[in-house]
């Protein structure tokens, strides 16, 4: 007999997951207009109040290259403020214990900045550095060779740990590179081990250009959990360029991954090379034919997908859908979430759409309420040996 229980078929598949919100950092970095400091604070705080426990807040890199985050310290000050802690406390959230705030720190000066902010009481709980298995993609993002960067990362992890800051090591171009094309999954497994060997707290496994597909995602994360079997140590980061990322989410779940992240409206992508009315450095020319139609996994849709699988996630999904509708007004265009328009599956149905008269018709023709087939038909269907295409009536 076929096994119908998904969790028995995939015994590593979790029944509880952690879903991070990276909208106000990764989502906004691709926007070609400056998103106000007030908006960044609003969406960050509201996401936490709606259930987010892993929030990526800002990028501490040089504002010359990424001026979208020139307000990094202002945003972090608000996120760490006593006023917000009191709001959290009223919602029974201990901001210091329950929520992990992350800042991106690709290079060592940004790590040093995070440490100084920590000393001032506005620093992150966790920072992030990134390597790509494709040396060309890595150079485009960091300006170093991989060997140079590994040495830098090792120094930074020690510094961060001494300051009480966790380090997330990102591995990118796992399923392909927008610059060099195909990559090897085995290289990403090796890079993951290297991150842990130099002291990383956890690993973000990143598809940064939508190259991933379900089969390869399942294969990769199975390899990862075979080699390093602790789901808390691994985070799935997926981009959406072909509208097929939901298959990769399911594949990652089936492999045993229990930490994911996304952005409201599916915002995000390569750092913008234009802001307001002025070209900026970013990371160079865009990798995509049309940069408007790329981004991350849509957080609203991801939550609905996980919720309807019956997996625990800790969010008020309706509140996040409400935030998604507000985000479209903030950004000023239709974003990529379907869930904010179509909602969740209405298990109670939508009786307002029913056509009147069925009850009267049932009574008129003498049927019983709830009758589904003619009364003279057998209660249980029994098929013969030949049916459908093999039935004699269809033979020429």
Query: How far, in Å, CA of 378 to CA of 314, rounded?
Result: 47
| Residue 80 per-residue DSSP state | T
Give tens-digit pLDDT for 343-389. Answer: 888 888 989 999 999 999 999 999 999 999 999 999 999 999 999 99
298 torsion bin: left (phi>0), alpha (psi -120 to 50), beta (else) = beta
Closest CA to 246 of 266, 220, 276: 266
Task: List strand residue ranges (DSSP E) for 133-252, in order.
Answer: 166-172, 202-207, 234-238
Q: What is the structure's pLDDT at 21? A: 98
pLDDT tens per residue, range 92-133: 999 999 999 999 999 999 999 999 999 999 999 999 999 999
Name all domains of the chain by residue range, CATH numbers in brackets.
14-342 (3.20.20.70)
Q: How far apart are the first and last CA of the chain?
A: 34
**Dist CA 332 CA 328 (whole Å):** 6
**pLDDT tens-place string over residues 21-33:** 999 999 999 999 9
Short-list 110, 31, 129, 125, CA closest to 72: 110
- What's the pTM value of the predicted model, to 2 decimals? 0.94
pLDDT of residue 286: 87
Q: What is the pLDDT of residues 136-182, one digit of tens each?
A: 999 998 999 999 999 999 999 999 999 999 999 999 999 999 999 99
Burial grade of 372 (CB within 10 A; 0-12, 13-18, 19 or more): exposed
**Which residues on neighbouring strands pair with residue 261, listed in sequence order?**
20, 237
CA distance 21 to 315: 11
Q: Give the DSSP H or E segment for 226.
A: helix 214-227
């Amino acid at each position: 007999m076929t096994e119908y229980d998904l969790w028995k078929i995939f015994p590593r598949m979790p029944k509880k997951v952690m879903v991070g919100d990276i909208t106000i950092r990764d989502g906004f970095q691709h926007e070609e207009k400056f998103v106000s400091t007030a908006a960044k604070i609003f969406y960050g705080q509201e996401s936490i109040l709606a259930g987010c426990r892993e929030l990526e807040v800002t990028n501490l890199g040089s504002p010359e290259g990424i001026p979208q985050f020139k307000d990094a310290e202002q945003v972090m000050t608000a996120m760490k403020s006593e006023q917000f802690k009191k709001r959290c406390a009223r919602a029974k959230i201990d901001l210091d214990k329950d929520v992990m705030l992350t800042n991106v720190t690709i290079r060592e000066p940004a790590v040093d900045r995070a440490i100084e902010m920590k000393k001032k009481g506005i620093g992150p709980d966790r920072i992030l550095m990134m390597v790509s298995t494709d040396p060309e993609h890595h150079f485009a993002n960091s300006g170093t060779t991989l060997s140079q960067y590994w040495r830098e990362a090792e120094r930074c992890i020690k510094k961060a740990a001494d300051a009480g800051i966790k380090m997330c090591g990102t591995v990118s171009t796992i399923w392909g590179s927008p610059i060099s094309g195909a990559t090897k999954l085995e290289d990403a497994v090796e890079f993951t081990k290297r991150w842990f060997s130099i002291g990383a707290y956890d690993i973000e496994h990143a598809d940064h250009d939508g190259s991933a597909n379900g089969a390869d995602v399942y294969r990769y994360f199975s390899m990862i959990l075979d080699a390093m079997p602790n789901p808390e140590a691994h985070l799935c980061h997926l981009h959406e360029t072909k509208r097929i990322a939901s298959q990769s989410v399911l594949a990652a779940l089936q492999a045993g991954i229990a930490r994911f992240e996304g952005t409201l409206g599916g915002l995000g992508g390569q750092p913008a090379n234009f802001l307001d009315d002025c070209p900026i450095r970013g990371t160079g020319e865009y990798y995509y034919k049309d940069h408007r139609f790329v981004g991350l996994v849509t957080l609203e849709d991801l939550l609905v997908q996980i919720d309807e699988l019956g997996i625990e996630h800790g969010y008020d999904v309706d509140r996040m859908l409400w935030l998604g509708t507000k985000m479209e007004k903030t950004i000023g265009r239709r974003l990529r979430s379907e869930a904010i328009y179509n909602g969740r599956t209405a298990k109670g149905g939508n009786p307002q759409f029913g056509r009147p008269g069925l009850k009267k018709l049932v009574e008129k023709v003498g049927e019983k309420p709830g009758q589904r087939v003619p009364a003279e038909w057998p209660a249980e269907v029994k098929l013969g040996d030949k049916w459908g295409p093999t039935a004699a009536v269809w033979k020429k």
